[in-house]
């Protein structure tokens, strides 16, 4: 399928410089793109490729000042990265919309409720009293437990497991291998040294416009719900424990873990391999660097944390400066001790 520069500009509200009728049929990275491809430039580190790329159409930021003329047609927008993401999303939606119907073999219980335009892939298993909203796509090999509800236009990728009573909103994307609603890690220590399992009778609630990466796990609550609020983005291999609440538009990178009953605020950013202890409160807008370990409640919004145990970023940098100077400080301390001993001996 081909699109002209003028058609693309209309989709992203951009202004054209160059041949508005030139067409493209695919996407390419600006450093590798060929004739007939669409590229974009958002990171200044790649600006040099703007003048050597073979791309036919390039999306750039409105404020970018060109150093010399280009052979490609350019489309100026306020934010090239967002505009390009919008186009990719439209392209992906076109691909997804082609999926329809129910593939065989698959198991769909007689009590399941399917709305219009739902796709069910082969070897999917839909248990009793499941409800699937309009336009939702269930890819092959998905298991959906009893009384699960999934909203409209959501995408459940291959191999996802959604345990009983979980609720998934609309426009949610769950990637392959993710497990929603498995038991929380609850065991009561016994006098004989063994552990008694605490039944996990709650559920998981995932609100609208959430995206969950591959092989992520979200545990059901012991009692009540584990909440993933609207707009949250979880990377691959993230662990969310029982009764956790992740606030609106929070993003969590790969291999991070949130322990039980912790409440993470809105617009929080958590780096890869970070860990947060249980029963804490993390204030709105907090930024946690990768591999940091948070062991106490954060009450001040928009705090930046790093290290283990995690500390305010500037305080951490000051302490690191001190650590860097420790060898010199040790040397000076030894010299002072030598002088003191000599003075004591002389007296």
| C-alpha radius of gyration, the chain, whole number | 27
| Topology, domain 101-315 | UDP N-Acetylglucosamine Acyltransferase; domain 1 (2.160.10)
Question: What are the tokens at 261?
Answer: 């009953």
Active site (annotated) includes residue 242: yes
270-279 pLDDT per residue, tens? 999 999 999 9
Burial of 347: CB neighbours in 10 Å, binned 0-12, 13-18, 19+: exposed
pLDDT cut 90: percent of the chain above it:
82
Superfamily assignment of 3-96 in CATH? MurE/MurF, N-terminal domain (3.40.1390.10)
pLDDT of residue 333 exceeding 90, the answer is no
d(CA 61, CA 66): 11
Neighbours of 119 (CB within 10 A): 22
Q: Which of 157, 175, 242, 279 is catalytic?
A: 242
| Nearest Cα to Cα of residue 16 among 60, 88, 104, 75 | 75
Q: Collect all residues with Cβ–Cβ distance below 8 Å to 246 and sequence separation of at least 6.
A: 227, 228, 229, 232, 234, 240, 252, 258, 264
pTM of the model: 0.82
Q: Report yes or no: 250 and 269 within 8 Å, Cβ to Cβ.
A: yes
Structure confidence at residue 176 as a pLDDT band (50, 70, 90) = very high
Backbone angles phi, psi at 39, to 5 degrees: -130, 175
18-27 pLDDT per residue, tens? 999 999 999 9
Name the 3-class secondary structure at 150: strand
d(CA 249, CA 228): 10
**What is the average per-residue pLDDT within 248-252?**
98
Structure confidence at residue 162 as a pLDDT band (50, 70, 90) = very high
Please tell me the total number of residues recorded for the chain in this structure: 347
Residue 11, pLDDT score: 93
Structure confidence at residue 316 as a pLDDT band (50, 70, 90) = low
Over the chain, what is the mean pLDDT? Answer: 93
45-101 pLDDT per residue, tens? 999 999 999 999 999 999 999 999 899 999 999 999 999 999 988 888 777 767 889
Residue 92, pLDDT score: 80
């Amino acid at each position: 399928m081909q699109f002209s520069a003028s058609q693309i500009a209309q989709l992203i509200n951009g202004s054209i410089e160059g041949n508005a009728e030139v067409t493209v049929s695919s996407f390419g990275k600006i450093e590798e793109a060929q004739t007939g491809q669409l590229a974009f430039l958002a990171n200044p580190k790649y600006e040099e490729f703007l003048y050597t790329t073979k791309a036919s159409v390039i999306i750039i930021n409105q404020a970018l000042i060109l150093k010399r003329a280009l052979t490609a047609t350019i489309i100026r927008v306020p934010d090239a990265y967002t505009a390009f993401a919008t186009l990719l999303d439209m392209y992906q939606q076109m691909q997804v919309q082609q999926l329809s119907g129910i593939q065989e073999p698959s198991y769909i219980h007689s009590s399941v409720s399917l709305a219009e335009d739902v796709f069910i892939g082969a070897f999917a298993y839909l248990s009793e009293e499941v409800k699937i909203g309009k336009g939702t796509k269930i890819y092959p090999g998905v298991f959906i437990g009893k009384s699960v509800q999934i909203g409209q236009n959501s995408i459940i990728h291959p191999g996802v497991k959604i345990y009983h009573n979980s609720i998934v909103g609309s426009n949610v994307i769950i990637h392959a291998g993710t497990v929603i609603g498995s038991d929380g890690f609850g065991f009561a220590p016994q006098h004989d040294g063994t552990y008694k399992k605490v039944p996990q009778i709650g559920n998981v609630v995932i609100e609208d416009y959430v995206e969950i990466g591959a092989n992520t796990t979200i545990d059901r609550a012991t009692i009540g719900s584990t909440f993933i609020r609207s707009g949250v983005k979880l990377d691959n291999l993230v662990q969310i424990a029982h009764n956790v609440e992740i606030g609106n538009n929070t993003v969590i990178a790969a291999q991070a873990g949130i322990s039980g009953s912790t409440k993470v605020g809105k617009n929080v950013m958590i780096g890869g391999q970070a860990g947060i202890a249980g029963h804490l409160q993390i204030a709105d807008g907090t930024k946690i660097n990768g591999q940091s370990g948070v062991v106490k409640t954060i009450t001040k919004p928009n705090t930046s944390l790093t290290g283990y145990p995690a500390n305010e970023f500037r305080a951490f940098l000051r302490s690191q400066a001190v650590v860097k100077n420790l060898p010199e400080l040790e040397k000076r301390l030894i010299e002072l001790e030598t002088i003191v001993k000599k003075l004591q001996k002389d007296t």
